Structure 1
């Protein structure tokens, strides 16, 4: 005798037996479509009713899945307009990923000047951070970031060359996360950061235009894709005489 198909009610009843909630399964299916590029950044998703009919679940389940994705900043809900794939525009990056804020409370997205771009075999630290194979190659970017005419951040970024082929030969824009999404189909969904007070080394101090040993904030950030894959390792040395680090819990 063939077992009956699992219904939404049946799936909900099974949650207590260790099964994942149905909305979480729907969320995973929708995220897979984002990963596969079915919907591009900024593009509207089908309506909740359309998705519910297509996936064979209730509209409420779809709504709960989309709410979970909105909480993860993967989609944006716009009242009266629908749900859109989140863009990596400067405003979103500034509020989700960029944590340096002026002491006067002003939020400003810094401008960048690329100092060097190179491709090489990953060293041990890069392999460990990005979970790479022994002979993997990476792209390294070093750049200076300024607020107006004031240098504030010098940073080194390391990216897997297999995920970003050809990046080392491209012009590097100020908004890197936007480039990752639009050109390589890689969406940065979350980051992990470690913060430490340091004294600037001679090289960083010269780049920033301050004496060696000047106090600074070191931010060690690992960026993860929607699939939780490490896609960027960024180490930033930040002068904080006029700025502070602000982390907001939501």
Structure 2
């Protein structure tokens, strides 16, 4: 506790505005989970006394973090730490990578794994002969123990063999591919807005009919052959997509 206090001391002699120093301290406490998601932060009076700053200075810092989506003011309760949204940004990454970049702990729960011969649409996307099987893996994806998405991935059988002896509650598919010399080069992705079925809503802990963000992605290797077809349904309150446009 003493180490935290030493690291987070506000210095009025620094050439940095006090409210910015306070803001940086609050961000660090959120990132290091000293204040857990959805928990109340200390009161204004407590923080003013801790940092030895005015109410105006403290409110400037908190206002910035509210605007940046890190904190949220709850009427009659106080200020809470918001759960962080995951963000897709056009990079070819797995769910676990995105979660870790946000300082969240990714987990999975396996729903289903099976080989199928009758998935003709998926076979056409993966350019698989009709007589071959497709390995289907369905999982719930969690960030900090909160369900975020339902993930369905389809793999050609020769790729799927790599996952046969893996703990699929923990497995990171892209890491396993790279460990076996399979490198992803590019992907095509489609994003749609859909509504959750009752079954999906139950898995994700939301109400039936709530909006979901659905992504469909085909990933290709260095030889430009399709390796994976995935369909992921994200909670729209926990995931958003950023795309930078240029002209």
TM-score band w.r.t. shorter chain: 0.5 to 0.7
Alignment of 1:169-184 (within 5 A): 169-172=165-168, 173-183=170-180
* C-alpha spacing 1:122/1:181, structure 2 compared with 1 (3 Å): farther
Alignment of 1:1-250 (within 5 A): 96-98=91-93, 106=102, 108=104, 110-165=106-161, 167-172=163-168, 173-183=170-180, 185-248=181-244
1:117–1:168 CA contact under 8 A, matched in 2: no
1:223–1:230 CA contact under 8 A, matched in 2: yes
1:137–1:160 CA contact under 8 A, matched in 2: yes
2:90–2:242 CA contact under 8 A, matched in 1: no
1:142–1:155 CA contact under 8 A, matched in 2: yes
* C-alpha spacing 1:109/1:249, structure 2 compared with 1 (3 Å): farther
Cα root mean square deviation, aligned: 2.9
* C-alpha spacing 1:139/1:169, structure 2 compared with 1 (3 Å): farther
Structure ID, larger Rg = 2
Q: What is the SS of the residue equivalent to 2:137?
A: strand
2:162–2:176 CA contact under 8 A, matched in 1: no
User: How far off its partner does 1:249 sit?
Assistant: 6.6
* C-alpha spacing 1:190/1:107, structure 2 compared with 1 (3 Å): farther
Distance 1:126 1:140 in 2: 10
- How many residues get paired? 155
Per the normalisation by structure 2, the TM-score is: 0.55
User: How far off its partner does 1:95 sit?
Assistant: 8.1
* C-alpha spacing 1:229/1:181, structure 2 compared with 1 (3 Å): same
Per the normalisation by structure 1, the TM-score is: 0.55
2:153–2:230 CA contact under 8 A, matched in 1: yes
Distance 1:111 1:198 in 2: 24
- Name which of structure 1's ranges 167-176 and 145-154 shifts more when overlaid on structure 2: 167-176
Distance 1:145 1:187 in 2: 23
Structure 2: stretches of 5+ with no match in the other structure: 1-87
